[in-house]
Each structure stands twice: as C-alpha cells, then as structure tokens.
Amino acid sequence: MAAKIALVTGASSGIGRAAAIALSKAGWTVVLSGRRLDALEDTLKMMGESDGGKAIVVPGDLSMSEDIKRLFEVVKKEFGGPFSLTVLRVMGSSSSLLETGTPGLINVAFRTQA
C-alpha cells in the first residue's frame, strides 16, 4: 500500500493547523507549509512529531512562485512521489497558488493517488 502523504498549506494556524493535527493522528505523513516558521514548528510540536519522522516543515509563501516550486521539490526529494491528499488553505484573490503557480505545479497540487 502506498504511503499516505498529505500536503497542508496554512498549517501554522486555524483550519490548516487542525487539519494537519487530525491527519497526523490518523496515521498520515504530513507536510506542513505556511509563511511563519515558528508557528509551523508549534504545529509540529502539537502533533507530537519532534523527530520529523512523520511530518516535515517547509515554510513558504504561496504567492511566490519560487516558494511553490521549492515546496514541491522538497516533497519530491523527501517522498519521491505525488501526494495522497492536498489541503490547500488559499486566502484572497490576488495571491493564491492558482494564480501564481505554473500549470505544471497546479496539476501536481491536485493529483491524487488511487
């Protein structure tokens, strides 16, 4: 069975944090992404994953195409494949993954494993 890998953006607070914690408790490997590294590390601690074995932190701003590209590069390097689940918390109309990401990155973001 393929590993269950979830990418959660906005994982530093609110719904993104709650989704990351719930997915971790359900046995998923979770990629935490958001702009505030300190808050992402707090989320990681709340998940009880101090060793990074079942979760990694990849800080970044999804309004920046360089950060989006780096996010997917890190995940590909760490896990080698597409995500099983992507939880995107995209706020606002002018700075979102859908507007700033390249079509290839958007396709990767929404690809799921069977």
Q: Which domains does the chain have, with CATH numbers?
A: 5-110 (3.40.50.720)
C-beta atoms surrounding 45 within 10 Å: 10
Q: State phi, psi for 86 to the nearest 5 degrees.
A: -125, 125
State pLDDT tens for residues 2-13: 677 888 888 999
Tally of CB atoms within 10 A around 71: 22
If one compares 91 and 30, the residue with the highest pLDDT of the two is: 30
pLDDT per residue over 16-68, tens digit each? 888 888 888 888 888 999 999 999 999 999 988 544 457 899 999 888 888 98
H or E element that contains 109: helix 103-110
